[in-house]
Amino acid sequence: MASLNEFKLTGPDWARGCEACAFGIVAAPDIVPALPMHESRAVQAHEEMILFCDCKAGFLYRQHLRKVYAKLSMEQVRTILAWVNAATVPTVHFAESEPA
């Protein structure tokens, strides 16, 4: 299987996206290194965390991720979503008040 860097060099021009996006994505959370990229992107897309471009790359990437999501079990979705949320949702720590 070709790596992402090899695809960047050899993939079709339309797959790189347009001037408004990168590979069909306008904005998305960071990829969680501990998870398979395709599966985590599929869950992010389902949860509407990814803003896809209206170009051909964005349309086809969105369609592909829907197919990937459909193959995931609910347990996989819960696990991936927990990891994604842990990596993207800020944690708020409240300072303890000083005794008077």
Residue 85 and residue 35 in contact, taking contact as beta carbons nearer than 8 Å? no
Residue 59 and residue 22 in contact, taking contact as beta carbons nearer than 8 Å? no
pTM, full prediction: 0.73
* Confidence (pLDDT) at 11: 76
* Confidence (pLDDT) at 4: 56
* Confidence (pLDDT) at 29: 86
Q: Cα(41)–Cα(62) distance, rounded to whole angstroms?
A: 10
Instruction: Output DSSP code: residue 12.
Output: -
Residue 88 and residue 50 in contact, taking contact as beta carbons nearer than 8 Å? no
Q: One digit per residue, pLDDT tens: the chain, 100 residues? A: 455 555 556 778 888 889 999 999 999 988 888 888 889 999 999 999 999 999 999 999 999 999 999 999 999 999 988 888 887 666 666 666 666 5
Tell me the HSE value of 58 on the side-chain side, using a 13 A CA sphere: 17
* Confidence (pLDDT) at 9: 62
| Segments making up each domain of the chain, as ranges | 14-87
